[in-house]
Amino acid sequence: MRQTVTKRVFTIPNFLSLIRLFLLPVFFVLLVQYENNVMAFIVLLVASLTDLVDGHIARATHSVSRLGQLLDPFVDRVFIVVGVIAIFVAERIPLWMLLLLLVRDGCMLILTIYQKRRFNRDFEVIFLGKLTTALVMAGFCSLVLWWPILPGAHVAESTLLPGWGADAAPLGYWLLYVGIMISWITAAIYLWRGLRPLSPAASAEAGVFSDASPSADRARPAGAKVLGDDGERG
């Protein structure tokens, strides 16, 4: 069953996305400036939970909106960027982790803009994308709280690979290893899907044709009425 998308702005999911966005500078200041691990963890945990529930609430309450479809992935990107920079500044992850996460999110931003301008198509988050965000956020929470601590793997002694040597390290490093790997697999899937134009039938189903465009007029049967979100004729 296809979910109805509205033009409503004031919805609970959109409100939760804004809360997540506003909590980011609070998290950054608590971790970097005040070095308050516990309070920074609590703020990051609350922000992460809003990301987990807003989509479920939107579908359950039939409040999926076009603003929410744009706002949620945007906030996810900002969330990861601010989070990884804060944790890097706090000297808890190596530079290569920072770069891989930032480059990946930069590519996703470019892809989002490209497919919107080229195909007039919104960015659609897939399950692996949400899984990536969940793993990365869980990894951040572990590294901020610096718990739970796991024994070292005794595989490779290197400051670039925390947890792989003899020293114990937080679980967060392992969550980030998996999250980064899945994030790049997801990026390849997004790239493959994002660069492919939709078929005419799929474009019409996805609502790619706008009501004001000549393409939409050609695709619409003669004499057909246009219905707005409120069900009134346009």
Domain residue limits at 151:
12-197
Do the Cβ atoms of 51 and 13 come closer than 8 Å? no
pLDDT band at 102 (very low <50, low <70, confident <90, very high): very high
Evaluate whether residue 29 is within a structural domain: yes
Evaluate whether residue 3 is within a structural domain: no
Evaluate whether residue 188 is within a structural domain: yes
Evaluate whether residue 234 is within a structural domain: no
Alpha helices by DSSP H, listed for 61-170, are 66-89, 95-119, 127-145
In this predicted model, which residue has the larger pLDDT, 9 or 165? 165
DSSP letters for 82-102? HHHHHHHHTT-S-HHHHHHHH
> What Å distances lie between residue 224 and 110, 175, 221, 229, CA to CA?
37, 53, 6, 16
pLDDT digits (tens, 9 = 90+) for 135-180: 998 999 999 999 999 999 999 999 999 999 999 999 999 999 999 9
- What CATH number is associated with residue 174? 1.20.120.1760
pLDDT digits (tens, 9 = 90+) for 84-101: 999 999 999 999 999 999
Tell me the pTM. 0.77
pLDDT digits (tens, 9 = 90+) for 49-87: 888 888 788 778 877 888 888 888 888 889 889 999 999
Amino acid present at 217: D
Query: Among all chains, which residue has been given the structure tokens 């744009």?
Result: 70
